[in-house]
Structure 1
Amino acid sequence: MQLAVLDITVVAAYCIGLVTIASLVSREKKGHQKGSEDYFLAGRSLPWWAIGASLIAANISAEQIIGMTGSGYAIGLAIASYEWTAAIALLLIGKYFIPIYLEKNIYTMPEFLEKRFDHRVRVLLAFFWLGVYVFVNLTSVLYLGALTIEIVAGVEMVYGMLFLAGLSLAYSLYGGLKAVAYTDIIQVAILIVGGIAVTVLSLDKLSDGAGVIAGFTYLLDAAPEKFDMILASDHPRYMDLPGISVLVGGLWIAQFSYWGFNQYITQRALAAKSLKEAQKGIAFAAFLKLFMPFIVVIPGIAAFLLVPNLDVSDKAYPEMMKLLPSGLFGLTFAALIAAIVSSLSSMTNSISTIFTMDIYRSTFHHLDVSEKRLVLIGRCASLVALIVAMLVARPLLGDLDQAFQYIQEFTGFFTPGILVIFLFGLFWRKATAHSALTAAVVSVVFSLAFKLWLDQVPFLDRMGLAFLLSAAAAIAVTLYEKGGDHPKAIRLSDFDFSTSAGFNISSLAVLLILAAFYIAWW
Structure 2
Amino acid sequence: MPIEYSLAPLDLALIGLYAIVVLWIGWRLAGKHHSAEDYFLAGRGMVWPLIGISLFASNISSTTLIGLAGDAYHTGISVFNYEWMASAVLVFFAIFILPFVLRAQVFTLPEFLERRYDGRIRSYFSALTLFLNIIVDTAGSLFAGGLLLQLVFPQLDMGLTIAILAIAAGLYTIAGGLAAVIYTDVIQTVLLLIGALVITVVAFDKVGGWSGMTADLDPSRLSLIRPLDDPGVPWLGLITGVPLLGFYFWCANQFMLQRVLSAKSVHHGRWGVLLAAALKLPVLFIMVLPGTMAIHLYPDLARPDLVYPTLMFDLLPTGLLGLVMAGFIAALMSQIDSTLNAASTLVTMDFVHKRRPELSSATLMKVGRWVTGIFMILAALWAPQIENFASLFKYLQMVLSYTVPPICAIYLVGAFWKGANAQGAWWAVICGTATGALLFVANEIVGLTDLHFLYVGPLLFAVSVITLCLTSRKEQAPRDEQIALVWTPAFYQQETLELKELPIWQNYRLWSLLLLIATGVLVACFA
Equivalent pair of 1:429/1:485 in contact (CA under 8 Å): no
1:17 maps to 2:7: no
Match of 2:223 in 1: 228
| Residue correspondence of structure 1 range 210-289 to structure 2 within 5 A | 215-223=209-217, 224-234=219-229, 238-242=230-234, 244-289=235-280
Say whether residues 1:332 and 2:324 are aligned partners: yes
1:87-166 equivalence runs, <5 A: 87-154=87-154, 155-166=156-167
Q: In structure 1, the residue corresponding to 2:276 is in which secondary structure?
A: helix
Q: CA deviation at 1:298?
A: 1.1
1:388 and 1:260 map into 2 onto residues whose CA distance is 25
* Superposition deviation, residue 101 in structure 1: 0.6
CA distance in 2 between counterparts of 1:299 and 1:392 reads 30
Partners in 1 of 2:30 and 2:271 — Cα distance?
Answer: 24
Tell me how far apart the structure 1 counterparts of residues 116 and 13 of structure 2 sit (CA, whole Å).
52
Could you say if the C-alpha distance between residues 487 and 183 of structure 1 is closer, same or farther in structure 2, counting changes exceeding 3 Å?
Answer: closer
Matched, 1:478 2:472: yes
Deviation for aligned residue 1:40? 0.4
Instruction: Give the C-alpha shift of residue 505 in structure 1.
Output: 3.0
Q: Which residue, out of 462, 469, 475, partners 1:468?
A: 462
Give yes or no for contact 2:38–2:44 (8 Å, CA) kept in 1: yes
Pairwise CA distance, 1:25: 4.8
Partners of 2:30 and 2:478 lie apart in 1 by 48
The residue type equivalent to 1:95 in the other structure is I
Cα–Cα, structure 1 residues 403 and 444, in superposed 2: closer, same or farther, change >3 Å? farther
Q: CA deviation at 1:406?
A: 4.5
Tell me, which stretches of 5 or more residues in structure 2 are unaligned?
Answer: none
Report if the CA contact (8 A) 1:39-1:176 is conserved: yes
Question: Is residue 503 of structure 2 the alignment partner of residue 508 of structure 1?
Answer: no
> What's the offset of the Cα at 1:337?
0.6
After superposition, the C-alpha distances for 1:142-180 in whole angstroms (9 at most, x for unaligned) are: 223212221244343233223212221232211100110
Q: How far has the Cα of 1:120 moved from its partner?
A: 1.5
Cα offset, 1:442, TM superposition:
2.0
1:20-35 to 2 correspondences below 5 Å = 20-25=24-29, 27-28=31-32, 34-35=34-35
Following TM superposition, by how much is the alpha carbon of 1:449 offset from its aligned partner in structure 2, in angstroms? 3.5
Matching residue's letter, 2:379: A
SS in 2 for 1:326: coil
- Cα contact 1:84–1:290 (8 A) shared by 2: yes
What do you get for the CA RMSD once the two structures are aligned?
2.1
CA distance in 2, matches of 1:64, 1:51: 19
Amino acid paired to 1:449: L
Question: Secondary structure of the equivalent of 2:315?
Answer: coil
Unaligned runs of 5+ in 1: 208-214
Aligned counterparts of 1:403 and 1:289: Cα–Cα separation in 2: 20
User: Normalized against structure 1, the TM-score is what?
Assistant: 0.91
2:249 match: secondary structure = helix
Equivalent position amino acid for 1:93 in 2: F
In 2, Cα distance between equivalents of 1:12 and 1:484: 55
- 1:26: how far off? 5.0
Q: What does residue 392 of structure 1 align with?
A: 382
Following superposition, the deviation at residue 403 of structure 1 comes to: 5.8
SS at match of 1:174: helix
- Aligned pair count? 504
Classify 1:137/1:510 alpha carbon distance in 2 versus 1 (closer, same or farther; 3 Å): same
> 1:497 and 1:162, CA in 2 relative to 1: closer, same or farther beyond 3 A?
farther
8 Å CA contact 2:28, 2:176 repeated in 1? no
Deviation at 1:410, TM superposition (A): 2.8
Given residue 207 of structure 2, which amino acid in structure 1 is its aligned partner? Answer: L
Matches within 5 A, 1:287-302: 287-302=278-293
Contact 2:220 2:226 in 1 (8 A): no
Secondary structure of 1:401's counterpart equals coil
Does residue 317 in structure 1 map to residue 303 in structure 2? no
What is the CA distance between 1:360 and its match in structure 2? Answer: 0.1
8 A contact 2:25–2:176 mirrored in 1: no
Matched, 1:58 2:58: yes
Q: Give the equivalent residue in structure 2 for 1:205.
A: 206
Aligned to 2:189: 188
2:390 match: 401
1:440 aligns with 2:466: no
Alpha-carbon separation, structure 1, partners of 2:476 and 2:350: 30
Q: Distance in 2 between matches of 1:100 and 1:206?
A: 49
Checking the alignment, whether the CA contact within 8 Å between 1:432 and 1:478 is kept in structure 2 is: yes
